[in-house]
Amino acid sequence: MDHEYADRRFRDAASGLCESVRERLYRLPGEIRQTAQEIRLRSGAPLSVVCGKRIWFLGRDGYPQAVPGKGLYLCSGKEIEESVRILCEYSVHSHTEEIRKGYLTLRGGHRAGICGTAVITENKILSLRQISSINLRVAREVKGAADEIFLRAFEKEPSSALIFGPPGSGKTTLLRDLVRQLSSGTFFAPLKVALIDERGEIGASCNGLPQNDIGPATDLLNGYPKGDGISIALRTLSPDFIVCDEIGSLEESERLIEGLFGGASFICTAHAYGKEALFARPQLRRLIECGVFQWGIELADAGSPGKIRHLHRFREGLG
């Protein structure tokens, strides 16, 4: 990855935080800025940056420490409150639904996970109060990240696939490059892709225009719930591929099975630590048994984002 680009993406993500935190992050060594995956703010706890499997804790002097000790910079509740306001572009009320779901999507595809005290009515989370932590995930385009999939799994033709791995393993980064290459015709003739970008992480749409390169033959359904997006794509867009991130709910699984008979192929991602964990989730197991996915692409851990650990052939079921 280009170092200047990687550094720029880190600074772009950090710009959504309050000044006192932002300025300390900007002073980090270039190697940390360029490899950072997450920026973590916790009320009363050290400001930290996650790079793969390593966590760096920032000292009051700005110097990063691999092991937490004395002299660390502790985030305050006020800094977290101010950061949330900035992340919401000073319009928190207009982001109530996102906050209720526990995240905020930023320009450029960066995403902030939000934790606090849940306000619950009738067993449903209505909102959050007293926000106590922010996990800001740094989004980066890695063009060519999906080359190995085309060379190994899609050697003859692109096929339906489920990309799975633990958090931080590069699922969204890989998915983004797959969309670009399918739509651009890098290895095969260009294909029509319907991208259901529920949280705005893949295309990173701003004012209706994707900020990331998703190819010339991609229709972007930005902010659509996956179930609705799949139905709309099948009815109106005649896609060759429907792509969505983090599939898992029962409704989403049923829509994928319906789509199987609508002529489209699917590429999706899911959280799972290995094949056994994948099959232990009933909804995902059902999708595989029904033949929705021909390939399972298992990724390595967060220490090697985007690295393929194993390719599983699903076409013949679970055997």
Residues 6+ apart with CB under 8 A from 11: 26, 33
How much is the pLDDT for 315?
Answer: 63
Strands (E) in the chain, as ranges, are: 38-42, 48-51, 54-58, 64-65, 103-105, 111-121, 124-137, 161-165, 193-197, 205-206, 209-210, 218-222, 241-244, 265-271, 295-299, 308-313
pLDDT over 90 percentage in the chain: 60
| Domain regions of the chain by residue span | 3-137, 147-313
The residue type of 149 is I
Of the options 3.40.50.300, 3.20.20.80, 3.10.180.10, 3.10.450.50, the CATH number for the domain spanning 147-313: 3.40.50.300
- The architecture in CATH of the region 3-137 reads 2-Layer Sandwich (3.30)
Q: Do domains 3-137 and 147-313 have the same CATH topology?
A: no
**Residue 181 pLDDT more than 80?**
yes
pLDDT digits (tens, 9 = 90+) for 283-300: 999 899 989 999 999 998
Q: What is the pTM of this model?
A: 0.81
